[in-house]
Every structure is written in C-alpha cells, then in structure tokens.
Amino acid sequence: MKTEALKDKILSRKTFAIISHPDAGKTTLTEQLLLFGGVIRNAGTVKGKKSGKFATSDWMEIEKQRGISVTSSVMQFQYKNRHINILDTPGHQDFSEDTYRTLTAVDSAVMVIDSTKGIEDQTIKLFQVCRKRGIPIFTFMNKMDRIGKDPLELLAELEEVLGIESYPMNWPIGMGKDFLGVYDRYYNRIEQVRETGENRYLALDENGHAPDGANITSSPLYSTCIEEVQLLSEAGNEFSIEKIQNGTLTPVFFGSGLTNFGVQTFLDTYVELAPSPQPRHSNEGFMEPTTTPFSGFIFKIQANMNPAHRDRIAFLRICSGQFERGMSVNIARTGKPVKLAQSTQFMADDRHTVDEAVAGDIIGLYDPGIYQIGDTLVEGKDLFQYDRLPTFTPDLFMKVTAKNVMKQKQFQKGLSQLVQEGAVQLYRSLMTEEYILGAVGQLQFEVFEHRMRGEYNVDTVMQSMGSKIPRWVEDDSVDESLSSSRSLLVRDRYDKKVFLFENDFALRWFEEKNPSVKLYNPMEV
Ligand code: G4P
C-alpha cells in the first residue's frame, strides 16, 4: 500500500472500550452504535446473553455452560469514513484480568454511567486503569428516561470520586417521564425527545436562545435547564480539546441508550474528538503508528476456542504499519521468526479470516503455544519491545494443590503455563511454600480448574481464602516474623514479596505498627 494511503487508513481508526458497572447499559449502547454502523439490523443481536438470540460460542466448554459470548470480543464498523473498533470489556461474573488488559489496547474509553445510581465500583476500577494510561475518556450519562440523580450531583461525583474534570456537552431538560431533551452546548441547538424524527433539532441563535414560538421554551423545565447552563458557563470547566486528549477532562453526554436518545450525537462527536492510533512507548522510545513498520503486542490469549484442536487465539493490537496475512515477523522476546498465516477478525457474531489490517486494528492470531501476554511482534530486523503490561492487583485468592500427588509433574507444568499465559496470578507462601492463586474475578479460577483438567489431565483442589488486599513490599529484607494470618507474607512469580491483608483494617493496623515497611499497590504507582 502507498505510504499516503496507509497513513489515511491508520488515521481513520478509532479504537475504544466501553467501561461501566454491570447493568449501566453498556450492551444497550453498544447495540445502538452497531445499528448506526449498519453492522446489525436488530437490537438484541449482541445481547443474546439474556435474550438467547445469540448463537452460543463453541470456543470453550465453560463459556458454553455460562453462555458468555466471546465472539463479541471485538466489534468493528464504518461510520462517516472512520473505522471504529470497539473492544468488549466483560463485566458481571466474567470480569477478569483480561478486562483490564483490554484497556491497554485502546486509544480511548467510553464510560457509561447509570444516572440513577451514579459512579459504581467496577467503573472506578476500570477508570483507574484508563487514567493511569492517560487515555481520553468520554462519559455517557445513561437512562435519562428514568428519574435519576441530580445532573449537577453527577458532575460533582465525577470530580470527587474519580478526580477528573468534566465538561457537559449537553444538559438535560427534565428527566424520567418529563425528559424533554437536551440543551446541546457543543452544537448550539436543542435536541428534543420526539416520537418521529421530525423537528428533533432546534438551532439556537448566537446568544443561545431558542427560536420564537418553540413549544419547549414555555416549559418550566426549560427555564431550570437554562439557569443551570448559565451556572455551568460561569462556574464550570471550560471546554478544552487538549485536556480531553490527555485524559484530564471528560466530555459528558446525557442520553438514553434504550430509547436511542442522544446516541447519534454522541457518536458524531466521539468520532470527531477521539484520537486515532497513538504512538506507543517501547524500550527504543515512542513508536509512531504511521512511520514504523508493522508492530503490535499481544494483550489477551483465548484458549481452546476449538476444543477439537485445542488451539488458542492470541489477540494482537497492531500499533504501527500494516499487517498482511502470511507475512513473517519476529517475536521480540525470543528473537524467533513467525509466519502469520492464520489470522482472524471479529464482527458482532462472526469471525472471518483477515488478509489486511493496519495500526489501531485488533486481529486474532492462531497460537500453537508460542506467544505470551505482552509479547511484541515486529517486522524486520530492528527488534524492540513495547513496555510490559501492568500488573493488576488481584483481590480474590485460592490455595491450590493437585488432587492426586502422583500428578505433581503435570500439575507444575499446567500451573506454570497457565500463569505465564496470564490466566491467573501465582503466589507462594513464604513459610509453607503453598501455591496461592490470585484473580480479579471468580471466572479466572473456574477457567484455571477447567483447563487443568481438560488440557493437563490434572484434577485440582481449590480452597478459597476469600478476598484479600495485596500490597507489594519495596524492601526485600522485610522480616518474615511480620507474617500472620491477617497479613500473610507471600512471593509473587517474579519473587517479589507481597503481604496479603485480611481487610482494610488489617492493612492500616500494619502500616501504623510498621511505619518503616514501605508498601505499594502496583495499580496506583
Ligand atoms: P450492561 O451491558 O451494562 O450490563 O447493561 P445492559 O445494556 O444489559 O442494560 C441493563 C438494563 O438496563 C437492561 O434492562 C436495559 O434494558 C436497561 N437499560 C439500558 N439503557 C437504558 C436506558 O437508557 N434507559 C432505561 N430505562 N433502561 C436502560 P433489563 O431489564 O435488565 O434487561 P432487559 O430485560 O431489558 O434485557
């Protein structure tokens, strides 16, 4: 492909993930976006988890049992000459480290908040990962068709709970049954709730006034809205594209995914303001997406997609250049060449072979067991490695042993491979040498147990230790006598010492008693 054409193609990419707490409306909003993109024709296609319309995935037995649709891991569509890639961030019981890792492969995030509930736990955790990477975050305040929290209170929560400045792109006129629409500050118009498409938008004059005779202006809700908009203009944050792009200010859109109100305006603005593929940092400095030859990194490995072949698919985020099926690249970690002959792209409920893709895109590579999470693939001799993926702090822990002591060898092999693949984290108790698994979601343990049996023929005994607060120790000489059942000292797989605290109280008590022991949480560094 000619350089200019390739550059245009790369710059047309917008790759993002939707972050939210379960039930905030992520699936509903995704469906509306896919409808605008013409990828699906009916609502309910993505949402088969509940409606049963979705063909059950054949990728993994455990997923079949639980009805998780991994095929929707990456969705793509074209919109206004842009190529949109949406990466799924599984929530509910399928929340896992993969959910976090997915956020390392996007250039921006859309945060969906249920306006009746405000900011919830899972949103906070996912937000922190995005925040650490400094990626732009676009907020969709959902469910305005229901009576929710006061909009000003919601904005205050963004600043107080998440610590991010906000700029409301529009402002609601009423809510619930009385939701009349929004005052659109960005496009200087009113977007009205209408059954038909007719007269949905009312352009405002340069002073922000509605045209004479517009019905909506006689409503007291409109007057309240105008007062609040005035307040925002005087006391609120200013719109700043720089702040949006460095992730310190989030543009906020009020709307309703279910009634499809405000979604198209959101999408139109998103494609305009969201960044195209960004340079990524490596041991050789920042790599430019448009001028560096093909490179990418693996952020997720999905095992046993086809149980008959025991194959795996490695998800690669292309960071620079162009992928062509059959090309030879090098795995930077090993320096070994690999031919990328089998590659897949994903589309709503389907996957198909991909012949060409560019920076910003996600492709699935057939993995005979050669890749590790975080691996960099590079075309050409100048090998470099993208920064290691961050460690995510687990909060659930299990002791694990092989049921049959005669199977120690297979147990060790399975354990080390699954840990390397990133399925779970592994710790060892300092005193007893017991194996302890750590995860951010229960599903990770179930997958581990299932795969140990299916792939390594080992039954395991798993004993829950419940949730713990792990804190890494800066100084390795820390005394083992500080280990107790409430602050268990373990080593992680890189041999770093970690305390597993029983709860917040135990952590604080320990910190008070041992001020010289410096503890840290890798997700907050
Ligand atoms: P999730 O993927 O974030 O978990 O949320 P999902 O889209 O599945 O939505 C969760 C529930 O919230 C669904 O209702 C959905 O219909 C509802 N919902 C989503 N957006 C809106 C909105 O803008 N307004 C209102 N009023 N409701 C919304 P459910 O009853 O749990 O599921 P279903 O029976 O409708 O499928």
SS3 annotation, 275-314: CCCCCEEEECEEECCCCCCCEEEEEEEEECCCCCCCCEEE
Return all residues near 96 (Cβ < 8 A) that are at least 6 apart.
90, 439, 440, 441, 443, 444, 447
* Dist. CA 183–CA 169, nearest whole Å: 9
The reply to whether 21 sits in an annotated binding site is yes
Tell me how far the alpha carbon of residue 283 lies from the centroid of ligand 1, in angstroms.
44
The reply to whether 20 sits in an annotated binding site is yes
* pLDDT the model gives residue 423: 86
The reply to whether 504 sits in an annotated binding site is no
Pocket test for ligand 1, best of 23, 113, 140, 256 (most atoms within 8 A of CB): 23
The string over 241-254, giving b where at least 16 C-beta atoms fall within 10 Å of a residue's C-beta and e elsewhere, is eebbbebbbbbbbb
Domain count, the chain: 3
* pLDDT the model gives residue 51: 37
Tell me how far the alpha carbon of residue 258 lies from the centroid of ligand 1, in angstroms.
7
Pair (163, 284) in one structural domain: no
Smallest CA-to-CA distance from 445 within 496, 485, 395 is with 395
Pocket of ligand 1 from Cβ distances under 6 Å: 20, 22-28, 50, 91, 142-143, 145-146, 256-258
Smallest CA-to-CA distance from 241 within 267, 269, 262, 207 is with 269
Tell me how far the alpha carbon of residue 240 lies from the centroid of ligand 1, in angstroms.
32
* pLDDT the model gives residue 60: 41
Domain that holds residue 249: 3-171+238-273
* Residue at 179 is within a domain: no
* Dist. CA 168–CA 177, nearest whole Å: 22
The reply to whether 92 sits in an annotated binding site is yes
The reply to whether 350 sits in an annotated binding site is no
User: 258: domain CATH number?
Assistant: 3.40.50.300
Last residue in a domain, options 344, 378, 412: 378
Last residue in a domain, options 316, 350, 378: 378
Tell me how far the alpha carbon of residue 20 lies from the centroid of ligand 1, in angstroms.
12
pTM, entire model: 0.88
Pair (151, 117) in one structural domain: yes
Query: How many other C-beta atoms are found inside a 10 Å radius of the C-beta of residue 2?
Result: 7
Closest residue to atom 26 of ligand 1, CA basis: 143
Last residue in a domain, options 349, 378, 407: 378
Pair (47, 142) in one structural domain: yes
One DSSP character per residue, 433-470 reads --EEEEESSHHHHHHHHHHHHHHH---EEEEEEEE-EE
CA atoms within a 13 Å half-sphere pointing along the CA-CB vector of 419: 18
* Dist. CA 126–CA 120, nearest whole Å: 10
- Residue pair 488/499 in contact (Cβ under 8 Å)? The answer is yes
* pLDDT the model gives residue 362: 92
Pair (352, 477) in one structural domain: no
Tell me how far the alpha carbon of residue 110 lies from the centroid of ligand 1, in angstroms.
17
The reply to whether 457 sits in an annotated binding site is no
Tell me how far the alpha carbon of residue 116 lies from the centroid of ligand 1, in angstroms.
12
Tell me how far the alpha carbon of residue 26 lies from the centroid of ligand 1, in angstroms.
8
The reply to whether 26 sits in an annotated binding site is yes
* Residue at 316 is within a domain: yes
The distance in angstroms from the start CA to the end CA of the chain is 41
* pLDDT the model gives residue 43: 60
Pair (159, 291) in one structural domain: no
Query: How many other C-beta atoms are found inside a 10 Å radius of the C-beta of residue 292?
Result: 22
Return all residues near 119 (Cβ < 8 A) that are at least 6 apart.
113, 157, 158, 161, 162
Pair (245, 290) in one structural domain: no
Pocket test for ligand 1, best of 258, 259, 261 (most atoms within 8 A of CB): 258
Pair (355, 484) in one structural domain: no
* Residue at 242 is within a domain: yes
Tell me how far the alpha carbon of residue 176 lies from the centroid of ligand 1, in angstroms.
15
* Residue at 23 is within a domain: yes
**Nearest atom (ligand 1) to Cα of 146:** 26
Closest residue to atom 31 of ligand 1, CA basis: 23
User: 330: domain CATH number?
Assistant: 2.40.30.10
* Residue at 204 is within a domain: no
Smallest CA-to-CA distance from 276 within 47, 505, 81 is with 81
* Dist. CA 227–CA 230, nearest whole Å: 5
Pair (462, 352) in one structural domain: no
**Nearest atom (ligand 1) to Cα of 91:** 4
Closest residue to atom 15 of ligand 1, CA basis: 25
Pair (262, 161) in one structural domain: yes
Pair (86, 132) in one structural domain: yes
* Dist. CA 58–CA 67, nearest whole Å: 10
Pair (113, 135) in one structural domain: yes
Residue 138 in tokens: 């676009």
The reply to whether 516 sits in an annotated binding site is no
* Dist. CA 192–CA 174, nearest whole Å: 11
pLDDT per residue rounded down to tens, the chain (525 residues): 678 999 999 999 999 999 999 899 998 999 899 889 887 666 655 554 443 333 333 334 444 444 333 344 788 889 999 999 999 887 766 678 888 999 999 999 999 999 999 999 889 989 999 999 999 999 999 999 999 999 999 999 999 999 999 999 999 999 999 999 999 999 999 999 986 655 688 889 888 888 877 788 889 999 999 999 999 999 999 999 999 999 999 999 999 999 999 999 999 999 999 999 999 999 999 999 999 999 999 998 877 555 555 667 889 999 999 999 899 999 999 999 999 987 766 544 455 677 789 999 998 888 888 898 999 999 998 999 999 888 889 999 999 999 999 999 999 999 998 898 888 999 999 888 899 999 998 888 988 998 899 889 999 999 999 999 999 999 998 988 999 989 999 999 999 999 999 999 999 999 999 999 999 998 776
Tell me how far the alpha carbon of residue 268 lies from the centroid of ligand 1, in angstroms.
23
Classified as helix, coil or strand, 415 is: helix
Closest residue to atom 33 of ligand 1, CA basis: 50
